[in-house]
Amino acid sequence: MHGFASGPGSAKGVALAEHYAERGISLERLDLRLPSLEHLRASAMIDAVRRALGGDRDRAVVFGSSLGGLTACRVAELDARVFALVLLAPAFHVLERWRLRLGDAAWRRWEEDDFLEVDDHAEKRRARVDFGFVRDLEELERRAGPSPDVRVPTLIVHGRADDVVDIDVSRAWSQGKRHVRLVEVDDGHQLVASLDRIIEEADAFLAPIMNPI
């Protein structure tokens, strides 16, 4: 599950899919720009992931990056078919951080004008996203709480130099959770310099889960 303004062709998604394909494991890279980037809705992303999980008796490991990491947690809260998570710089408290990043004036302009200009990393162009993205996330937080309550084994890889999602967010969320392992790396939000480490950590984390003694 890719991040905001990214897509299924992201470097991390492709690298992970190729790695697991060599081991005979299919990693499905979903396009979660739903219904579009301009009208992006986390609720639609959650629904799409749940549809992709398979039958009632199937079980899955869900990988999520940034906004995809937050959405993966929301799926795990709702769906017992998810039995493990691998999260890359998960965007916990995304609305709180966006508001701080934009400032009150820009936030009000977004709400008043309904659209905010953003970088579309998948199509390498400028794009825009409507304020309905915010309202949808607010409704999810109202129903489920601002912080995901995840009970399945979870690996987080987060960069200490991340200037988009501060690593302190992952530190606070993982604190006291014995089922969560936080791996800190010397990298930024994209984590492109840490692909080998991500794969190494994911393999070690998933080995006892996927191949129990």
Peptide bond into 212 cis (omega under 30): no
- Parent domain of 190: 11-102+133-210
Q: Looking at the domain assignment, is residue 49 inside a domain?
A: yes
Q: How many domains does the chain have?
A: 1
Q: Looking at the domain assignment, is residue 174 inside a domain?
A: yes
**CATH code of the domain containing 152:** 3.40.50.1820
Dist CA 172 CA 151 (whole Å): 16
Q: Looking at the domain assignment, is residue 154 inside a domain?
A: yes
User: What does 12-37 look like in DSSP terms, one character per residue?
Assistant: HHHHHHHHHHTTT----------S-S
pLDDT in tens, 154-198: 999 999 999 999 999 999 999 999 999 999 999 999 999 999 999
Q: Looking at the domain assignment, is residue 159 inside a domain?
A: yes
Dist CA 176 CA 4 (whole Å): 28
pLDDT in tens, 13-46: 999 999 999 999 999 999 999 999 999 999 999 9
Q: Looking at the domain assignment, is residue 143 inside a domain?
A: yes
pTM for this one? 0.94
Q: Looking at the domain assignment, is residue 127 inside a domain?
A: no
State the pLDDT at residue 152. 97
Q: Looking at the domain assignment, is residue 178 inside a domain?
A: yes
